[in-house]
Every structure is written in C-alpha cells, then in structure tokens.
Amino acid sequence: MNVLADLRRRFRAALESLDAGAGEVADMVLPSKDPKFGDYQANCAMPLGKRLGRPPREIAQELVDRLEVADLCEPPEIAGPGFINLRIRDDWLRDQLTQIVGDPNQGDPDRLGIVPTEEPKTYVLDFSSPNVAKPMHVGHIRSTVIGDALCRVLRQLGHRVISDNHIGDWGTQFGMIIYGYKHFADPQAIATDAVGELSRLYQRVNQLVDYHATREQKTPAIEQQIVELAARLEQMHDATELENPKDRKKADKRQRQSEGQLVDLRATLDNLRNQMAAAENDPELGPLLSQHADIGTAVLAETAALHAGDPTNQALWDQFLPACLASIDETYDRLHVTFDHSLGESFYHDRLAGVVEELVERDLARESEGAICVFLENDDAPFIIRKKDGAFLYATTDLATVQYRMAEWTPDAIIYVVDHRQSFHFKQLFETVKLWGYEGVQLEHVSFGTVLGEDGRPYKTRSGTAVGLTGLLDEAVERALKIVCDNDNARDVPLLSEEQRQSNAERIGIGAIKYADLAHNRTSDYVFSYDKMLAMNGNTAAYMQYSYARVRSIFGKGDIDVDSLRKSDAKLQLDHPSERALALALLQFSETLERVATDFRPNHLTAYLFELASAYSRFFENCPVLKAEDDQQRNSRLRLCDLTARTLAKGLDLLGIQVVERM
C-alpha cells in the first residue's frame, strides 16, 4: 500500500474538480513532520489561493468538502494559513497492515506492501567504473555502493534496470603498465602474482611520470605564477592611496587575498621540491629518473600503439586483462555487487572514429587548434572528442557508449553515478548527445561528494596516496570482529561460535561502510570514521542489524513458528499509541522506496529504517509481547514484530547490506 500515492490521487481528483489544472499541486501532500499535525498534511491551498485570488482557508475548506477520504482518514482539519491535516483512521490502518502481514493473495513474504510502479521504465545504470591498471581505492566506494543500492531499489519497484560497469581498460593507465612491463618487470613475480606485480609496475611508472611532470611542467608553472603575483602585489602597493574608501577597501581585500595566494603557492612549490628530492634520494627510484627522462611521451606512445593495433602491446593487453578483472571481481564478491554488463572502454574502441566522423559530417564538431571539438553555447571550453595527435578521449568513448546503449536497450534513462567533479564533463556530454539527436532519453548525472579524513581533507594515507579499498574493508571487518568478540565474551554464556563471529564481523564491517556512505546525503562530502560507523547507537548499520537480531530473538525465546504465525488471519490490534506508530511506519515502506527512486537518494531509506527501528524500540519498551495480556494481543504483537523484522531485512537488502540472526 502506497498511502502517500493514494492520498495524492484523491487530492488530484478534488483539486481538478475545483479548478482545471490545479491537479499539479497534489504533490504538496506530504507526510507530516510532527504527529500533532496528523499523519499527512496537504499544503496545496496556499499556492492555489494566490492563483485563484481567494483566501487559502476558504479554498482549503472547499477542497475538504470535495475530497473523498472518509474511508481512510478522520475528518480533515484545517489549520494555520490553510494547512489540511490528515489523520489515518485506526481501523483502516489496522486492515491495511493486517493484509500486508499476511499478504494472503501474493504469497510473497518479501512484498511487504511494496506497490510496483505504475510506469515501469528501462534504466541503464552506469556506476563503479574502476580502472584495471590500479587497485580500487576509497574513491570507488560511493559510486559502487550508491549505484548498487539504486539498482536494487529501482528493480524492486518493477523497473527494468541494466547495470553496466564502464571499466577503464583502454586508457593511459594501461600504457603505463605496458611501459612498466617492458622496462621493469620481474618475470618471476608476473608468474606468481600477476596483479600484485602489475600494480607495482603501475606505481613505479606513475612515480616516474609524476616526477618528470613536476620537474618540467608543474614547478616552472608555479614559479611563473609566483613571479606574476609578486609583480602584481608590487603594483597594488601603489594603489593604496585611492580616494574612494570603497575602492580602497576592495584593493585591500584583493591584496590580502593575493598575499594569501602567494603564501600558498610558495608552500606548494616547497612541497613539490621536497617530493622531487625524495624521489631523487630514493635508492631504487633515484637512479631510474634520468634513464627515463621521456617517460611521459613514451607512455602515451605505448598507449597509442595499443590503440593502433600494435601486436606486442595487444598481446600484453590480452595477457594481463583477465587477471586484472579477476582481481576487481574479488572485491565485488566481497561487496555483493554484481553487474549485468561490464563493457569497458576497450569495447568501444573501434566505434570512436565513426562517432567523430559523424559529428563532423553533421557540422556538430569542427577542427580547432588541431583538435576536433564540439562547441557548446555559453561554455568557455569546447567538448574535445579527438586530440590533435589523433587519439580519442573519455568524451569520445562516452558518446559511443550512449550510441550503443540506445541501439541495444532503448532505455528511457541513462544514470551516471559519478563524483561531482565531473559535472562539467556530463553537462557537455548531455548537451552533445541531445544535439546528436537523442532527445527522448533522460540523462542524469547522479553526483556525489568526497570522502574526507578526520582532518576534513580528502581521505588519504599518511604518505598522501589513496587508501586502498581492500585494506579499508579489512580494517572495518577487523574492528567489527573485535567488537563482536568483546561483547560476546562479556556474556554469561557466549552466544556465538567462532565461525559465527567471523561471518558476523564480515557482515557488520562491510555493512557499516556501505550504510555510512548511503546514510549521508550523496551531494555532500562526509568524514569517514570507523568509530562512528560501527557505533551501536544512532543511524548505523550495526544498530539496524542489532534491532533485527533483537526482534528475531523473540521468536526463538517464545518458540514461535513464524510460518503459521503469518497464516493467522485475525485482525491486528493497534490499541497502544506505540503500536499504532509502529504500524504507520511499517505501512510507509512503499512510499519511501518511491521517494528514493524519484531523486536517486538512498539516504531517504536509511532515515526511514532508523525511524522504523526507533518506533519498534518504543513499542518494545511499552508493549509486552510474549507476556501480553491474552493470546489475541500476543498474536497481534508477534505479527508486528515479524513484519518489522522482515521490513528491516528487506530495507537493508535493498541497500546491499546483510542482516545477522544473532549478534
């Protein structure tokens, strides 16, 4: 049962009978924040009052008169400037929930009142997108976890979802591996641990490329900036005697800013020089630096050779790719994330030339400074689809990918779960795609913020490199294991076997990381903290898992057969306020999922689960279950417990998180 959708439908009818075209404000029916305003509230009378030029309270009254909700609501109340407050009738709530608990017609214990969407769509969901050349790191968490959760929720609602992992298997990174293999490979290591060795090669080459880029480009550029800025500051001193106080203030500010920038630049320069010195003094790296002075261009040449079909490089690619993919799959197995397709960049490489050709032919792209570009309105920079050296880019691959997906699956929407730094790229991509002629498809950049360390800076290791994903998961599981063991050991009689402890720790640790990520509004940055995500209180996976285990333990303790419990067709009793509150929360699962799907925000679901767990907690405190007054009440409360457990488990499952039966 989707209560919200039902109410909106009824309001729409009433609104349209009042004024043609007023139906659009039916979306202003919302769950109330505060119980004293009822369970739901309609805020449509105020905007309508303005449109019709009549007092909002009068409109509200007229709406209430036309509204047909007597079967599911108490008589609506009008409050304040024209709010319509709705309270769900207890008998209606009871009947709806009784049906969901038993779900007699569906026979599906997981349906839980979830109403399939009225308009099933086809979505292509593009997320995770790791690079084969380098190990997955903390930066891949959000895309992977959010993408997977959205995939599950959309499917649950009845949409057709095609998940596609657009793996980076054809870019400069692979050129680095090839270069590294040709110069630094240890054949022994390749034979025993290919992925580890390739990772080492990648890092080695990356260090060398970085060093030379720093030395030949970055450092001189910053030196240049410092000179310019210093010169500008000189001139500013002359301007301090301006007559107009406003101008003087402005000049002062600009001077302060420039001085600040100068300090920053000098610090950056020092930093770069230190890094270079560190590389030069490194006993392994140092001697290689001068031998590989042209490594930047050499790597690009290896990449270009691969793209051009060079047999040696192609053979190396064929040899290494499977091991790289297998290594990535290990991580996905651990995260329980799967994809329908993993069509990486390489899949599209023979389509790229055609894409550029077509855009040029259709006058959408043209040559500029040697590169082929799409010039879009109001953009400072063009969308470059072919470099002056003839190589293709990320942009070209993305265009070819859209073309393929449209031809293959004709989706209604393509959703990219990618961090916010790429929003300019997607803005350009989407505009180009529209110009290209794909007008009907919804293109959505579901962007997200950065994972920060406790210091508020992007989460890095002490040496400044990205934190590896495997290590991150390991540490979360390790910490979870310690908590699990400490707590279990503190019991009079420990509850868990050694195996259960291990498997619990895995579920709790991984769940903690996923949940922490999903619980934050995806558009904001968040601070990564093991202690917070593994806390037993608050909006965490561990608390949800604990809530679930606690509910389930009742059935063990009372020796209850859940199957026969579910077959009971006796009506539920919702006499205590906390029973009613729990029932209402349970009934709102369906509308919560709809909301997650509407704006692609899984944090609505985590917030819902936290509220549900809280509502259960109050119920559990106030309403004895096994020791209920009579069998009827006991039966009713047991079924509320059962539905709570199933809803918690299902909600977590839709977030890609597993529950544990005992913890």
Nearest to 398 by CA among 436, 419, 429: 429
Coil, strand, or helix at residue 610?
helix
- Closest residue by Cα to residue 85 from 32, 25, 24, 45: 32
Among 477, 515, 620, 639, binds RNA (CB under 7 A): 620
Closest CA to 5 of 592, 651, 650: 592
- Is position 525 an interface residue for RNA (rule: CB under 7 A)? yes
> Which residue number, 442 or 523, has a Cβ lying nearer to RNA?
523
Binding residue for RNA (CB under 7 A) from 503, 595, 635, 653?
Answer: 595
* Residue 28 identity (one-letter amino acid): M
Dist. CA 67–CA 7, nearest whole Å:
10
**Residue 60: left (phi > 0), alpha (psi -120 to 50), or beta?**
alpha
Q: And the tokens for 659?
A: 């529950």
Question: Which residue's CB is nearer to RNA, number 113 or number 168?
Answer: 168
Orientation of helix 352-361 relative to helix 394-409, angle to 10°: 90
Does residue 32 touch RNA according to CB under 7 A?
yes
Contact between 57 and RNA (CB under 7 A)? no
Give the range of 62-70, 333-341, 377-385, 438-446 binding RNA by CB under 7 A.
377-385
Nearest-approach distance from CB 369 to RNA, in angstroms: 4
Whichever of 113 and 171 has its CB closer to RNA, that residue is 171
360 binds RNA (CB under 7 A): no
**Closest to RNA by CB, 79 or 269:** 79
Distance CA 561, CA 555 (A): 7
Among residues 218 and 618, whose Cβ is nearest to RNA? 618
Phi, psi of 372 (to 5 degrees): -95, 125
| Near RNA in 323-352, by CB under 7 A | 345
What minimum distance in Å lies between the beta carbon of 514 and RNA?
15
Q: Which of 51, 68, 71, 81 binds RNA (CB under 7 A)?
A: 81
**Which parts of 84-113 interact with RNA (CB under 7 A)?**
85
Helices (H) and strands (E) in the chain, counts: 25, 13
Nearer to RNA among residue 172 and residue 207 (C-beta):
172
Cα(346)–Cα(316) distance, integer angstroms: 14
**Could you tell me if 399 and 432 are in contact, meaning their C-beta atoms sit under 8 angstroms apart?**
yes
Binding flag, residue 483, RNA (CB under 7 A): yes
Minimum distance between the CB of residue 559 and RNA, rounded to whole angstroms? 11
What is the rounded radius of gyration, in angstroms, for the C-alpha atoms of the chain?
30
Q: Which of the residues 251 through 270 are near RNA (CB under 7 A)?
A: 253, 256-257, 260
d(CA 84, CA 588): 20
**Binding test (CB under 7 A) with RNA, winner from 89, 218, 532, 576:** 532
Residue 526 binds RNA (CB under 7 A): yes
DSSP string, 550-604: HHHHHHHHTT--HHHHHH--SPP---SHHHHHHHHHHHTHHHHHHHHHHHT-THH
Tell me: does residue 631 bind RNA (CB under 7 A): no
> Could you tell me which stretch among 63-71, 115-123, 433-441, 519-527 binds RNA (CB under 7 A)?
519-527
Site string for RNA, 147-186 (x = CB under 7 A): ---------------------x--xx--------------
Interface with RNA (CB under 7 A), residue total 106
Q: CA 17 to CA 343: how far, in whole Å?
A: 51
- 3-class secondary-structure state, position 447: strand
Q: Does 535 bind RNA (CB under 7 A)?
A: yes
Q: Binding string to RNA for residues 414 to 443, with x set by CB under 7 A, is what?
A: ------xxxxxx------------------
What is 400-420 written as a DSSP string? HHHHHHHHHH--SEEEEEEEG
Q: Does 571 bind RNA (CB under 7 A)?
A: no
With binding defined as CB under 7 A, does residue 495 bind RNA? yes
Q: Which of 224, 274, 529, 632 binds RNA (CB under 7 A)?
A: 529
DSSP β-bridge partners for residue 468: 137
552 touches RNA by CB under 7 A: yes
Cα–Cα dist 300/397, whole Å: 17
Q: Which is nearer to RNA, 8 or 190 (CB)?
A: 8
Q: Which is nearer to RNA, 10 or 520 (CB)?
A: 520
Considering the rule CB under 7 A, would residue 503 count as an interface residue with RNA? no
- The stretch near RNA (CB under 7 A) out of 87-95, 156-164, 355-363, 484-492 is 484-492
Element (H or E) spanning 374, and its range?
Answer: strand 371-374
Looking at residues 130 to 149 of the shown chain, list those that interact with RNA (rule: CB under 7 A): 131
- Interactions with RNA, residue window 277-316 (CB under 7 A): 300
CB of 641 to RNA, least distance (A): 8
Q: Does 523 bind RNA (CB under 7 A)?
A: yes
- Is 546 near RNA (CB under 7 A)? yes
Cβ burial, residue 270 (10 Å; 0-12/13-18/19+): exposed
Position among 117, 219, 258, 450 found at the interface with RNA (CB under 7 A): 450
Question: Which run of H or E residues covers position 149?
Answer: helix 141-156
